[in-house]
């Protein structure tokens, strides 16, 4: 039975990392001028940061101009779902030792394209919620 009195609950930040670790696709939101853009990315966690690979192009050009980003991942099934929103700063991984370490991460590209760039999102704020699905209650 779905609890219609409280179908949305907060997930503590410490637990949010476990939720993020359970999926491998999320969305990175960037701002280009006055226009927000959202890109799907496959990702993995590296400590308490998110890393993904990217080809050169508009996503990286936008991040060079404005490193403030939002990242979201979620999952759902018939009975409910969850969503984790990470606000933070994205930077290109350039240190040789760090590149060697993240290159060993269990992250493979979605599509057969060359993606030599690694991007790290360091959170400044994490919010997460769990949702219990069910019929809309009567007013």
Mean pLDDT of 50-76: 89
Helix, strand, or coil here: 36? strand
**Which CATH code for domain 8-132?**
2.30.110.10
Exposed, middle or buried, 72 (CB in 10 Å: 0-12/13-18/19+)?
middle
* Stretch among 1-5, 95-99, 115-119 having the lowest mean pLDDT: 1-5
Question: Mind listing the pLDDT tens digit for each residue in 1-34?
Answer: 445 578 999 999 999 999 999 999 999 999 888 8
pTM of the shown model: 0.88
Element (H, E) at 20: helix 13-21
For the chain, what are the domain ranges?
8-132
Question: Mind listing the pLDDT tens digit for each residue in 122-132?
Answer: 999 999 999 99
DSSP 83-132: EEEEEEEEEE---HHHHHHHTTSS---SSSS---EEEEEEEEEEEEEEEE
């Amino acid at each position: 039975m779905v609890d219609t009195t409280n179908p949305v609950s907060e997930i503590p930040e410490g637990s949010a990392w476990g939720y993020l670790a359970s999926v491998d696709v999320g969305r990175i939101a960037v701002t280009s001028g006055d226009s927000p853009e959202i890109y799907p990315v496959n990702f993995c966690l590296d400590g308490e940061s998110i890393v993904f690979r990217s080809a050169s192009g508009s996503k990286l050009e936008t991040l060079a101009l404005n490193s403030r980003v939002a990242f979201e991942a979620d999952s759902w099934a018939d009975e409910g779902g969850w969503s984790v929103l990470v606000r933070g700063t994205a930077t290109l991984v350039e240190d040789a030792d760090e590149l060697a370490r993240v290159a060993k991460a269990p992250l493979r590209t979605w599509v057969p394209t060359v993606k030599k760039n690694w991007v790290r999102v360091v959170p400044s704020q994490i919010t997460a919620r769990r949702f219990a699905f069910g019929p809309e209650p009567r007013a």
